[in-house]
Amino acid sequence: MDRYDEVKSLLKRWELQFLGEHRRKPCKEDVDQAPEDIRGLYRDYRTLKRAKEQSGSHDPQSQLLPGSAEPPAPPKDSDCWGSHLNRRAMPGPPPKLTQQDRDGLQASSQYYGLKLKNNLAALRKSSCLLVVSRF
């Protein structure tokens, strides 16, 4: 086991111990108030991690070009669906309603609600008459 992994495991062990005592993960202030050996381990860990990243022995996901923020696009022939399903190809947002259109829709929905209410009232009356007439 190299020094990087050793320091990392020591820090993880201290963090688990801290979690057991304080029932929370240590924050930066807790690390600053930790014993000198723990602070030294954190310093060592940071320098070892930077050195490891610069040497190129890190995961391939972080090997992207420094200027690019996203991974390179896969070849076009390997798409599993058509380009018409991409978000860019989708139509824009629906048009905004004017105040007059909004009022018309509200009046329409109110009219529909009144018709529905009247139909339900009529249905209730007829079902009550059927129940009463059976006795």
pLDDT at 65 exceeding the cut of 70: no
Stronger pLDDT, 38 or 89, i.e. the higher one: 38
Structure confidence by residue, pLDDT tens digits, 72-118: 555 555 567 777 777 766 666 766 778 888 788 788 888 888 888 88
Compare 114 and 27 and report the one with higher pLDDT.
Answer: 27
Which residues are CB-neighbours of 8 under 8 A, at least 6 positions away?
Answer: 45
Q: What is the mean pLDDT of residues 20-26?
A: 92
Q: What is the mean pLDDT of residues 34-52?
A: 92
Is 132 in a helix, a strand, or coil? helix
Structure confidence at residue 62 as a pLDDT band (50, 70, 90): very low
71: nearest Cα among 87, 60, 57: 60
Residue 124 scores a pLDDT above 60: yes
DSSP letter at 50 equals H
